[in-house]
Structure 1
Amino acid sequence: MVEEMKAVCLVLHDVAPSTWADYQPFVEAVDALGDVPMTWLVVPDFHRHDALDANPAFRRVLDARVARGDELALHGYYHDDQEPMPNNPRDWFMRRVYTHEGEFYRLSREAALARLHAGLDMFQRYDWPVQGFVAPAWLMSDGTRQALRELPLSYTSSPQHLYRLPDFSAIDAPGLVWSARSAWRRGVSKILSDQREQRWREASVIRLGLHPVDMRHRFSRDYWLHTLQRLLAEGRVPLTKIDWLARQRGQLERAA
Structure 2
Amino acid sequence: MVEAGSNSTSVMLVLHDVAPETWPDYQPFVQAVDEMGNVPMTWLVVPDFHHRNLLTHSPAFCRLLERRLARGDELALHGLYHADEGPAPRSLGEYFMRRVYTHEGEFYGLNEAQAMQRLEQGLEMFDAQGWPVAGFVAPAWLMSQGTRQALSQLPLRYTSTPQHLYRLPDFTAYEAPGLVWSARSAWRRGLSKIVSDWQCRRWRSADTLRLGLHPVDMRHRSSRDYWLRTLDKLLLQGREPLTKSTWLERQVVA
Scaled to the shorter chain, the TM-score interval is over 0.9
Secondary structure of 2:27's aligned partner: helix
Alignment partner, residue 130 of structure 2? 127
Alignment partner, residue 199 of structure 2? 196
Kindly indicate whether residue 179 of structure 2 is the aligned counterpart of residue 165 of structure 1: no
Report the AA paired with residue 12 of structure 2.
C
Alignment partner, residue 180 of structure 1? 183
Alignment partner, residue 76 of structure 2? 73
Secondary structure of 1:17's aligned partner: coil
- Which of residues 152, 155, 158 in structure 2 aligns to 1:149? 152
- Which of residues 204, 207, 212 in structure 2 aligns to 1:209? 212
Deviations 1:36-62 (A, max 9, x none): 000000000000111111100100110
Identical amino acids, percent of aligned pairs:
68
Deviations 1:57-82 (A, max 9, x none): 10011000001110000000000001
Q: How many aligned positions are there?
A: 250
- Which of residues 106, 109, 112 in structure 2 aligns to 1:109? 112
Report the AA paired with residue 82 of structure 1.
E
- Using the TM superposition, give the Cα deviation of residue 204 of structure 1 relative to its aligned residue in structure 2, in angstroms: 0.5
TM-score norm. by structure 2 comes to 0.97
Deviations 1:178-211 (A, max 9, x none): 0000111000000000000001011110000000
Report the AA paired with residue 83 of structure 2.
D
**Aligned partners of 1:124 and 1:29: how far apart in 2?**
30
Alignment partner, residue 40 of structure 1? 43
**Aligned partners of 2:209 and 2:202: how far apart in 1?**
11
Report the AA paired with residue 240 of structure 2.
V
Alignment partner, residue 58 of structure 1? 61
Secondary structure of 2:25's aligned partner: helix
- Which of residues 103, 107, 112 in structure 2 aligns to 1:100? 103
Report the AA paired with residue 86 of structure 2.
E
- Using the TM superposition, give the Cα deviation of residue 34 of structure 1 relative to its aligned residue in structure 2, in angstroms: 0.5
Report the AA paired with residue 96 of structure 1.
R
Q: Give the gaps of 5 or more residues in structure 1.
A: none
- Using the TM superposition, give the Cα deviation of residue 116 of structure 1 relative to its aligned residue in structure 2, in angstroms: 0.1
- Which of residues 25, 29, 47 in structure 2 aligns to 1:26? 29
- Using the TM superposition, give the Cα deviation of residue 4 of structure 1 relative to its aligned residue in structure 2, in angstroms: 1.3
- Using the TM superposition, give the Cα deviation of residue 88 of structure 1 relative to its aligned residue in structure 2, in angstroms: 1.0
- Which of residues 75, 79, 88 in structure 1 aligns to 2:91? 88
Tell me: higher relative CO, structure 1 or 2? Use CA pairs within 8 A at least 6 residues apart: 2
Report the AA paired with residue 84 of structure 1.
P
**Aligned partners of 2:158 and 2:207: how far apart in 1?**
18
Report the AA paired with residue 207 of structure 1.
R
**Aligned partners of 2:199 and 2:131: how far apart in 1?**
34
**Aligned partners of 1:174 and 1:216: how far apart in 2?**
25
- Using the TM superposition, give the Cα deviation of residue 248 of structure 1 relative to its aligned residue in structure 2, in angstroms: 1.4
Secondary structure of 2:30's aligned partner: helix
Q: Any runs of at least 4 consecutive aligned residues in structure 1 with deviations exceeding 3 A, and if so which? A: none
- Using the TM superposition, give the Cα deviation of residue 98 of structure 1 relative to its aligned residue in structure 2, in angstroms: 0.8
Report the AA paired with residue 227 of structure 2.
W
